[in-house]
Structure 1
Amino acid sequence: MSWRELLPPWLVIVAGLTGIVLLCISTKDVPVAPLRTKYGIVLDAGPSRTILFLYQWTTTKANKTGVIRECSSCPVQGLGVSSYSDSPQKLGKSLEPCLNWAQKEIPAEQHSQTPLYLGATASMRQLNLTNPILSDGLLAALTVALKSSPFDFKGAQILSSPAEEAFSWVAVNYVLENFFKYDWRGQLVPSTKGMAGVLSVGGTSTQFTSKVEEENQAPKEGVRLQLYGQTHNVYTHRCPCHSTDQLRSRLLSMLIQDQRSAKIVSNPCWPLTYSREVQWRSVHTVPCAASDHTSDIPAPEEVFNITGSSNPTACMRLVQSLLNSSSSCSFFKSSLSSVFKPLRTRFLVISEAMDFMRETVPSPDLGQAVNRLCGMSVKELVKDSHTSLDRVANYCIVSAFILHLSTKGYTFDFDRPAWTAFQKKMGDASSSWTLGYLLSLTNTIPQDSPSFLKGIEPGVWSLLLILFVVLLTGSFMRISYRVMVKENSFSNRNSSVFDDN
C-alpha cells in the first residue's frame, strides 16, 4: 500500500487525537462583560440632623465582604429625627429632597436593587429609654416614608452605643487598609499592619474602642463582627465624665474652688484676653464633679469671672490632676489594660480639637503640638477656625487630655499622612459608622453571578492553531493531488480513444 493511500486515514487519526487533546487542556473563566457597580444607601439619623450616605462597590467580594470604594452624602434639611416627636407626619417629607438626589445619582435600572438602611443613634436611644412609644412611632413614620421610595428598604433601627462605635472602628481600619491592602498588581492581599483602636472624644462622652486580642477576654457588651473571612471581637469603653463638655465643667469647677477668694479666676487652659462669666450651677455637674473638691461649695446662683492666662505647662498639670482625682472611668486600671493591651495597640483619635491641631500646627510631635495650641492667642484661634470662639477655647483642654492618655502608655496616631489619607477617603462625611455598618452588611448582600467564557492559555492556543493549519494544509494538498490524478487519468483515456481511431 502506497503512502498516498495511507494519508487519508492518518489525517483522520490526527484530527481525532487533536480533539482529545482539546478536551484534556485546562481552561479558565474569562468574564464576558466588566463587573457591574452596585449601590447602597445608609441614613444616619443623628442627634442634630440626618444625613444620607451613598456608597458604591463592584460586585466582586473579598472573602464574602464587599470592597466599597466611593462615598457621597446629602444632609437632610432640618433637625434630628427626635425633634419631630410632635409632628411625625413631617418626618418623611423632610427626607424627600435627599431621596430624590439619590435617585439621580443611581442608574434607574438599579433603584429596585439598591439596599436602603436607616440607623438612629444618640438622641433616639435616649428617647427610646424615656418614651419608647414615641420612638416607635417615629420609626414607624420613617418606615412608611422609606418604603414608598424606589429603593429596596431593609429597615430602620436604633443602634446601641457599642454597635455604633464598633462600626466606626470598622470604618477607620478599613480606610487605613488594616483589613487588606492592594499589592503592586492591584490585587487584594491580607494586611500585616494589625488593627488600630479608636479614641472618639465627643461632647457627651469619650469612647475607647478596640479589638479584644483573645476571645475569652471579650466582655459581654462587646460586638462580634465577621469581616473578610475573619472574626473580630470589638469592645467599647464609654466614659461620660471625660467628654468635651464634662472636662471643661470639671476643670472650671476645680479652678473656682481653688481661687474662690480671688476677684478674677485664672484659667491657664484658655487663651489670653478670653473671659467669660460662669455660674456655679452650670459647671458643678453631678456625678462627674462629685469626686473633685466638695468642701466650701459656692451657692448655685453665684457667678464667677473666669479669664484665660494661656499657660500650657500649668494647664497640663491641672488636666493630669483632674484625671488622676477622678474616681470614675479610669483609663489606667489593670482590668482595662488587660482588655486593650495598650502597649500593643495604636489608636487613631477622632475629635474636633485634634482636627484643628492637625490643620494649624505643623509639628508631628504630639507634645509640641499641644504646647503650641495651648499658647495660641484669641486672634490665632479665630483665624484658623470656622467654629465659635467659645468652642475653640476648650480645644487646649481636650488636647491636653489626649496627650495625658498618650503619656500613660497608649500610642496615638498623630501621623499627618495617615490622617490625611483617612480624611481624603472619608471625604466630607461627618459620620464614619455608616461605612462600617454597610461593610458588615455586604456579607448578607448576594453577589452577582457574572457570565464567563471558557478560555485557554495563549501558548497552548498558538500550538493548536499551528496543528490545525498543518492538518488543513495536508488535507488540501491531498484533495488537490487526487483531483490532479483524476484529471491526468481522464486525459490519458481520451488520448487512447483518439489514437485508436
Structure 2
Amino acid sequence: YGIAVDSGSSGSRIQIYSWPDPSEVSKEDTSQWNSVPRVFQQEDWSYKTSPGVSTFADKPHKVWDDHYEDLIEYAEKIIPKEQWNETPIFILATAGMRLVPKKKRDTLLETICEKVGKKSEFLLENCAEQVQIIDGETEGLYGWISLNYLLGQMDDYDVSSEESNDSLRPSYGFMDMGGASTQISFVPYSREEIVKHRDDISTVYLRNVGGGVQQWDVFVSTWLGFGANEARKRYLKNLINILPELNNSNDEDDFNTKAVNDPCLPRGAKLDFLHLKHSYEIIGSGDYESCLKTTYPLLLKNLPCTETPCLFNGVHAPEIDFQRDKFVGISEYWYTANDVFHMGGEYNFLQFNEKVKSFCESDWSEIQKNSEQGAYNNVPTSILIDACFKANWVINVLHEGFNLPRVGIEEKHSTSEEADLEYKPHIPFQSAGSIKGAELSWTLGRILLYASSMIASSDKISVGIAPASKENKPFVYGGIDNPSLSSQLGHGSWSFLLLFVFLGALTLAYLYMYKRDSLKRFPTIFTQITSKLKAKYNHYRYLKLSTQEQTDLESG
C-alpha cells in the first residue's frame, strides 16, 4: 500500500493505492516484464477535507485535530493494521502553500510531520521528502506520469527497441488547472525538438517489473497565480484599479465609487469584494464578448520571452503541434466544462463557446431557478456565480495561452457521466475526471515512482525525476531517501552521541555492581530514552534536510 495526500489550495484529499509485490509478479507473469508495476485504487479509496491546509498557517497547532486526523483515520479503516508500518505516506502541499510566507510554512510543515509521526503508524522515515511543498514542475510531472500510465503508454516498453527507434513513443500531454496555479507537461513531438530545447526538458526514470528502465523526456512549466481562483482575484482587482479615484492626483478622493460592473458575472448577480481595505459591490452585466476581452490581459502575453516559441507570462516552451499532439486537461478544465456546461470529454470550441455565451448573458435569477431544478449537477451557488469567469479563463488559457486552434470536432461525445477517456486520435484536447474508471490525480504519479523504485536491478540508475538543467534543482527520488546517521549528524552531534554512550556505559556498570535489581527495569527505561532520542534526531534531520533541499517555491 501507499498513501499520497494532495494538500491543495481548497482542501486536502487522501488517495490510497495498492500494488502486488513486483518480485513476485516478475516470477509469475513474464508478460509484465516490460511494463511498470500495476497500481490499483478502489472507488472509495479517496477522501477530502476542507479548507486548504494553508488556512492553518497562523494556527499550526490545530492542523492535526481539524485537518489531517480525519484523513489518517480514513486510511486506517482501509489498510490492514499489520501493514501500517510498511505503508509509506506522502503529504504533498501545492500552490496554496507556496503562497504562504516561508517562516510560517516551515513551522506548519514541521508541525504536520511531528503530529502525523506521533499519531499514526504509517511509514514516515524522512520528513523533508515525505511532508513537503512540491513545486509546480514536480506536480506537473507527477500528473503526466499518472495520465500516461492510466492510458497504457508505459506498458510493453522494450528498452532495447526504444533506444534504436528514430521515432518517439506515443504519449499524451497533460494540463492541470487548480485554484492557485496551472501546469502543462508534454513530450516534444520529435527528437530534434528535444535536442533543440534540451536545457528546458526534464527526464523521468521508471523501472519495469523486469528491471529495465523507461526514460521519458518531458517539458513542464507552471504558472503560479494563474489558477482559476487566483486569476479571478487578479481580475477583480484590475476592475477596481482602473477606477478614476485610483488613477489621479487628488488626495481628497473619498472612494465614492463602490459599485463596479463585471461583464464576467451573470446579469443581476451581486457579490462583495474587499480591496485596499475598501469593500466594493461587484454587479454582473453579463457581457460575454467583453468578458473574454477583459480576461485576456491576465495572461500577460506582453511579457517577452528569452527564446521562441513563447506561451504566456514570458514562458518559453518547445513548439506544440496540435495536428499530432494530444492533450488531456484535469481539475478546472474538467469541472468547468462538465459540471455546469455538460461538455466534459472531447473539446469542441464552437459548441462550448455557444453554451458559455448563453450562460454568461443569462439573468442570475434564471440561473438560480435552473440550478434548483438540477440543471448544473448540484453545483453550489458560490461556485456557480464564478462559472462564467472560469469558462472564459479556460478559453483564454487554451487558445491564447497555449495556442490551441479554435475548431469544432465531429459529434462523438461520451454518454457516461464520468466521461472515461479512451485513446482517440485527432482530438487535440479533451478534459477528464477519470480514465477507464480510475480517478485521474497527480498523486498516482508519486506512488508509481515509489512502487517502481522497489524493483531490484543490477544497474545504478535511480528511479525518479531529473529536473531540467536550467532549473538547477536536485534529483527527485522515487523511493524514500533515508540518510544514514553518519551523513546527517555533524561534529557537535557526534560529540553528544559519544558522551551519551559513555555515560550509558558507566550507568550500566554501576547498576551491575551495586543495583542489580534495577537492571530488571532497564528495558523499559531504555525504550523510553531511545524513543525520545529518536524524536529529537528526526526533528534535527528534518531541519537539516529542509535547509539543504529547499527549492525556489515562489517561482511556481
Letter in 2 for 1:203: G
Distance 1:446 1:264, change over 3 A: closer
Show the counterpart of 1:158. 132
TM-score (norm 1): 0.61
- Aligned equivalents of 1:339, 1:170: Cα separation in 2: 21
Residue 398 (structure 1) aligned with residue 379 (structure 2): no
Distance 1:200 1:132, change over 3 A: closer
Residue 178 (structure 1) aligned with residue 150 (structure 2): no
Deviations 1:377-403 (A, max 9, x none): 334364415454343333222322332
Question: Residue 433 of structure 1: CA displacement?
Answer: 2.0
- Aligned equivalents of 2:104, 2:324: Cα separation in 1: 43
Residue 380 (structure 1) aligned with residue 372 (structure 2): no
Contact 2:206 2:453 in 1 (8 A): no
Deviations 1:126-183 (A, max 9, x none): 558234752463254046326x51x44454231421212211221122223333489x
Contact 2:53 2:97 in 1 (8 A): no
- Aligned equivalents of 2:174, 2:115: Cα separation in 1: 31
- Aligned equivalents of 2:241, 2:57: Cα separation in 1: 41
Distance 1:426 1:80, change over 3 A: farther
Q: How many residues align?
A: 381
- Aligned equivalents of 1:134, 1:197: Cα separation in 2: 36
Distance 1:248 1:85, change over 3 A: closer
- Computing the radius of gyration over CA atoms, which structure comes out larger, 1 or 2? 1
Secondary structure of the 2:17 match is strand
Distance 1:398 1:327, change over 3 A: farther
Distance 1:390 1:354, change over 3 A: same
Contact 1:82 1:123 in 2 (8 A): no
Show the counterpart of 1:73. 46
Show the counterpart of 1:493. none
Residue 441 (structure 1) aligned with residue 417 (structure 2): no
- Aligned equivalents of 2:295, 2:57: Cα separation in 1: 39
Deviations 1:296-321 (A, max 9, x none): xxxx74x6544223232332233345
State the identity %.
20
Show the counterpart of 2:493. none
Contact 2:182 2:223 in 1 (8 A): yes
Distance 1:145 1:343, change over 3 A: farther
Letter in 1 for 2:332: E
Distance 1:391 1:322, change over 3 A: same
Query: Which ranges in structure 2 are unaligned for 5 or more consecutive residues?
Result: 26-31, 158-167, 246-256, 422-431, 457-556
Show the counterpart of 1:198. 174
- Aligned equivalents of 1:264, 1:88: Cα separation in 2: 40
- Aligned equivalents of 1:132, 1:252: Cα separation in 2: 27
- Aligned equivalents of 1:89, 1:241: Cα separation in 2: 27
Distance 1:411 1:311, change over 3 A: same
Deviations 1:92-145 (A, max 9, x none): 896555545434433455445444433343455555823475246325404632
Secondary structure of the 1:230 match is strand
- Aligned equivalents of 1:81, 1:394: Cα separation in 2: 22
Superposition CA RMSD, Å: 4.5
Determine which of 314, 321, 325 is the counterpart of 1:345: 325
Moved more, 309-318 or 379-388: 379-388
Letter in 1 for 2:448: L
Distance 1:225 1:416, change over 3 A: farther
Moved more, 340-349 or 198-207: 340-349
Q: How does 1:34-73 map to 2 (within 5 A)?
A: 39-59=1-21, 60=25, 62-63=33-34, 65-71=36-42, 72-73=45-46
Show the counterpart of 1:210. 186
Query: Which ranges in structure 1 are unaligned for 5 or more consecutive residues?
Result: 1-38, 183-191, 282-299, 448-501
Question: Residue 234 of structure 1: CA displacement?
Answer: 3.2
Distance 1:385 1:237, change over 3 A: same
Question: Residue 271 of structure 1: CA displacement?
Answer: 0.9
Show the counterpart of 1:239. 223
Show the counterpart of 2:461. none
Determine which of 264, 268, 277 is the counterpart of 2:263: 268
